[in-house]
Chain A
Amino acid sequence: TQLLEQSPQFLSIQEGENLTVYCNSSSVFSSLQWYRQEPGEGPVLLVTVVTGGEVKKLKRLTFQFGDARKDSSLHITAAQPGDTGLYLCAGRSGGSTLGRLYFGRGTQLTVWP
């Protein structure tokens, strides 16, 4: 059972389009992170969100943490081929597993020129 559900699983769009990917859970997380992973490489951290309702912007990427800290979204404006990759969300809960991150399965984004 996946603690974090990501949707859609695959997304294929043309350059210049906007898109939103989602990360949902029934669990509350103390923080949530988004990573991008390219084939044959490790994930690279994009952002960490901590506060319910928090919105962070990274150039054309906008990240939002749900008010209840159970879900998050990533919105990309005017997508470019360089945005192609696997987008992973990962959450950290409190308690005895403070060190562990729980990852979703990811959204594979392909942006065509």
Chain B
Amino acid sequence: DTGVSQNPRHKITKRGQNVTFRCDPISEHNRLYWYRQTLGQGPEFLTYFQNEAQLEKSRLLSDRFSAERPKGSFSTLEIQRTEQGDSAMYLCASSLLIGEPRGYTFGSGTRLTVV
């Protein structure tokens, strides 16, 4: 297993366009998380899944954002009608829920630039 994989690594899009990011977690990990990180800030929680169930969503996740994890494997994060304020690094992480607490394994992120 090569860890958590995120694609694409970089995405430049025009304001108003829709974008979709993909995350492939470590195969045996049942929890998957999405975070957003802007310059000079720590990662901010967006949402997380346990298997295919989306268990929590942050208030940061407006109606323009949607995340899915069909079949409890890979996940996608879609942003509709992108705005300049959406420019950030989008990080995916996974973990195994056996005996809390456990740390996350992060992917390398998708850098989104909205122009």
Contacts and interface: CB of A to CB of B under 8 A. Distances in A.
Tell me if chain B binds chain A. yes
Interface of A: 4, 30-31, 33, 35, 40-45, 48, 50, 88, 90, 92, 96-106
B15 to A, nearest CB: 24
Contacts of A40: 108-109, 111
Contacts, number: 66
A92 B104 CA distance: 12
B16 to A, nearest CB: 27
* Smallest CB-CB A-B distances: 10 pairs: A42-B106, A103-B42, A31-B101, A45-B103, A99-B48, A103-B43, A100-B45, A105-B42, A33-B103, A43-B106
B56 interface: yes
B50 interface: yes
Contacts of A35: 103, 106
A104 B91 CA distance: 16
B102 A48 contact: yes
B100 A98 contact: yes
Given A105-B40, A105-B41, A99 B50 contact: yes
Given A40-B108, A42-B107, A105-B41, 16 more contacts: A4-B42, A30-B101, A33-B103, A35-B106, A40-B109, A41-B109, A42-B108, A42-B109, A43-B43, A90-B42, A92-B101, A101-B104, A103-B44, A104-B42, A105-B40, A105-B42
B40 A42 contact: no
